[in-house]
Amino acid sequence: MGPKKPVDLEPTVLVKSLHVGFAGREVLHNLNAKFNRGWLAVVLGRSGSGKTTFLRALNRLNECFPRSATRGSLKLKLQGEWRDIYRNAMPLPELRRRVGMVFQTPHLLPGSIADNLALPVKLVLGVPRRNIASRVEWALEEAHLWDEVKDRLNAPAHTLSGGQQQRLCLARLLALEPEILLLDEPTASLDFRAALKVEELLLSLKERYTIIAVSHSLSQARRLADEALIFRDGSVVQRLSREDLQAPDTLQALLEEIF
């Protein structure tokens, strides 16, 4: 399968001179970026380069941390409309539902596998009780998890393996009908085989969503990315296309840049 470029890319995320700081220390400086629907972007960089902070800026989760401050413009195209999310374009819960996030380690809710999906579907979407089961099944199918868990939906969620838990978290997002997916090193806590399964899943989802994934693995970026952004000290220092990522000499330069 050669590199293929969709004819018309639909931009959905526009970041202009974004600054984010905590307690007076700036983490992101003057960051500019653009992301598209149907396009999987991978963010690479050393730890501490601001990758996670950047993701959390997109669903305003940085505000859960003490003394965070955000400046600049961050526009998302949600429901077909451009919205500047730091100008109160949308209530926070609604924004976070539409811009879903998966963390480095699986962040489970208390309760069973079914609870993990049913609770948000019921609370956030207000889906009537009789429709919840079918939605849960649909989301688990989407996350390639249904066959593995259909016989033990009422088992505690933490009895799943790490990879299954992470796919459960993805299923939980998908059940909420998001438009943008933020993935913060989603395979960091998984072994190689489980990581490959998650990667497969992401590739199967990317047509329909805007996906921004942070990764610490260059080889993963080469497998997944339509585009890679290299972060250093809180700004984007380089953008690489899929072709760039495959070329051996850029690879060498990248290795030195990142690691």
Partner 1 sequence: MIKKITYLAQACSWLAVLTTVGMILLFLGFLGVRGFDTINPTLFFGNTPPWGAIIGRLPVWHGIWPACVGTVALVLLSSLLAIPLGLASGIYLAHYASGAWKRWFSLAVEVLAGIPSIVMGLFGFALILSLRKTVAPQANTCLLLSAGCLALLVLPYLILMTQTALEALPDELRQAGLSLGFTPWQNMVHVLLPVAGRGILSGVILAVGRAAEDTAVILLTGVVANSGLPSGILDKYEALPFHIFFLAAEARSDAELAQGFGAALILLILTAALFLGAYYLKSTFTKTWDQKNLSI
Give the binding site for partner 1 (CB under 8 A). Answer: 59, 61, 64, 66, 93-97, 100-101, 103, 105, 107-112, 114-115, 118-120, 122-124, 129, 132-133, 136, 153-154, 172-173, 176
Rounded Cα distance between 184 and 145, Å, is: 20
Rounded Cα distance between 224 and 227, Å, is: 9
Rounded Cα distance between 239 and 194, Å, is: 28
212/221 with CB nearer partner 1:
212
Q: Minimal distance in Å, beta carbon 97 to partner 1?
A: 3
Rounded Cα distance between 157 and 85, Å, is: 33
54/103 with CB nearer partner 1:
103
155/237 with CB nearer partner 1:
155
Q: Minimal distance in Å, beta carbon 137 to partner 1?
A: 9
13/114 with CB nearer partner 1:
114
12-31 burial, b at 16+ Cβ within 10 Å, e below that, comes to bbbbeebbbbeeeeebbeeb
Q: Minimal distance in Å, beta carbon 67 to partner 1?
A: 10
Q: Minimal distance in Å, beta carbon 157 to partner 1?
A: 11
97 with 181: CB under 8 angstroms? no
171 with 143: CB under 8 angstroms? yes
